[in-house]
Amino acid sequence: MGLRIGDTAPNFQADTTEGKIDFHEWLGDSWGILYSHPADFTPVCTTEIGRTAQLKDEFAKRNTKVAVVSVDDVKSHNEWKKDVNETQNTSVEFPIIGDEERKVANLYDMIHENASATATVRSVFFIGPDKKIKASITYPASTGRNFAEILRVIDSLQLTAKHPVATPADWVPGNDVIIGLGVKDEEIEEKFPKGHKIIKPYLRTTPQPE
């Protein structure tokens, strides 16, 4: 059975393109994203690694560290990084984990045998500062990730961790949010001084708290 929301993200030690890391120590008090790519020197993965590097400042603004893993070794990763930097006009500075023994891939259930017996699918794990898994997304090898959605999920997770709200369908930062069901009507004015709307007893909205 794969990892579920609320589970502790498994810790591991591994060699990476940025040196040896202990995953939990490396995360520290930051939020984290761990994602897998099927293989080095492949086209979709090249664009994804490049996009991750291009978004360095966006992840830093969210206090979020990113690490990437595939079943290739670090030597291969370092050679491939040169292609990524060249073709995507960027500089990859986050750790790409060498996992030729599939230790990390197995810990995080990243190999789906019905898709491939050897390559990892495009898993994304969002990890909180408490080392708990807050969300996950899985794509097939043929579908490149939407990084606007990845950033949107981080924004939602961080907002809802601080305030008793939920984010509605298609929410983006700055839009109204939904007041949590645990908040009583008589508490709303104090908790949400920007105002609110009661659409239904169970559907109450307020401007984004931050």
Using the predicted structure, report yes or no on whether residue 114 has a pLDDT greater than 70: no
- pLDDT at residue 88, rounded to an integer: 97
Q: What mean pLDDT, rounded, does the chain reach?
A: 94
2 — pLDDT class (breaks 50, 70, 90): confident
- Identify the DSSP state of 11: P
- Identify the DSSP state of 71: S
- pLDDT at residue 120, rounded to an integer: 67
Least confident of 34-48, 101-115, 123-137: 101-115
Q: 45 an active-site residue?
A: yes
pLDDT in tens, 179-208: 999 999 999 999 999 999 999 999 999 999
116 — pLDDT class (breaks 50, 70, 90): low
Tokens of 77: 């990763």
- pLDDT at residue 111, rounded to an integer: 74
- Amino acid residing at 38: P
pLDDT in tens, 132-187: 999 999 888 889 999 999 999 999 999 999 999 999 999 999 999 999 999 999 99
Q: Which domains does the chain have, with CATH numbers?
A: 13-145 (3.40.30.10), 163-206 (3.30.1020.10)
Q: What is the b/e burial string over 87-120, where b = at least 16 CB atoms within 10 angstroms of the residue's CB?
A: ebebebebbbbbbeeebbbebbebbbeeeeeebb
- Amino acid residing at 112: H
Question: Which residue shows structure tokens 């830093």?
Answer: 60
Least confident of 18-22, 50-54, 117-121, 149-153: 117-121
pLDDT in tens, 60-111: 999 999 999 988 999 999 999 999 999 999 999 999 999 999 899 889 988 7
Tokens of 38: 């099927």
From 45, 55, 74, 96, active-site residue: 45
The count of other CB atoms within 10 Å of the CB of residue 50 is 21
| Residue 80, H or E segment | helix 74-88
The CA distance from 88 to 172, in Å, is 27
